[in-house]
Amino acid sequence: MSLETTKQKVSSFFKKLMIFLILGLLLFGGIYYFYRTYTLSEGTRTGLLYKISKKGKIFKTYEGQLQLAGAAIMNKESVFEFSVANNDVYNQIQNLEGKNIRVHYKELVDAFPWQGDTDYLVYQVEEIK
């Protein structure tokens, strides 16, 4: 075997390896993104909105807490913690603090850090009169 033949074989091997690695990373990235954004459940919760805020060290997200309807005392089980999906919903829900509301949410398998602190993403809110 000559030096040129060896160089060509090594070059061909590394080209194939790079293509395989890039395709593998793209496939893994696609599957990982699908997993993180997969919706486990959708539903509504009703209660008294007592906290809504924008917080975070790196990713600023909108976080809220709702005291569930029918709960006589406030404890960990009677509080629904959620993240708000976008700025428009946050502005709407901010005006309803201290009122009875119904939130429509999606529960994700594992939300990305820029989506919020919780896996419950609220995308719609309405006041209960």
Sequence ranges of the domains in the chain: 1-36, 39-127
Beta bridge partners of 105: 43, 122
* Integer Cα distance of 117 and 103 in angstroms: 17
The mean pLDDT value of the chain amounts to 88
In sequence order, the 6+-apart residues with CB closer than 8 A to the CB of 26 are none
Q: Which residue has the higher pLDDT, 109 or 124?
A: 124
pLDDT at 101 over 70: yes
Predicted model pTM: 0.74
Sign, Cα dihedral of 35, 56, 125, 79: positive
Q: Which of 19-23, 95-99, 102-106 has the lowest mean pLDDT?
A: 95-99
pLDDT at 110 over 90: no
Give the CATH superfamily of 39-127.
Nucleic acid-binding proteins (2.40.50.140)
- pLDDT, position 10: 86
Q: Which residue has the higher pLDDT, 129 or 106?
A: 106
Per-residue pLDDT reduced to its tens digit, 38-89: 888 899 999 999 889 988 888 889 999 998 877 766 777 789 999 998 889 9
Both tokens of residue 30? 């696609």
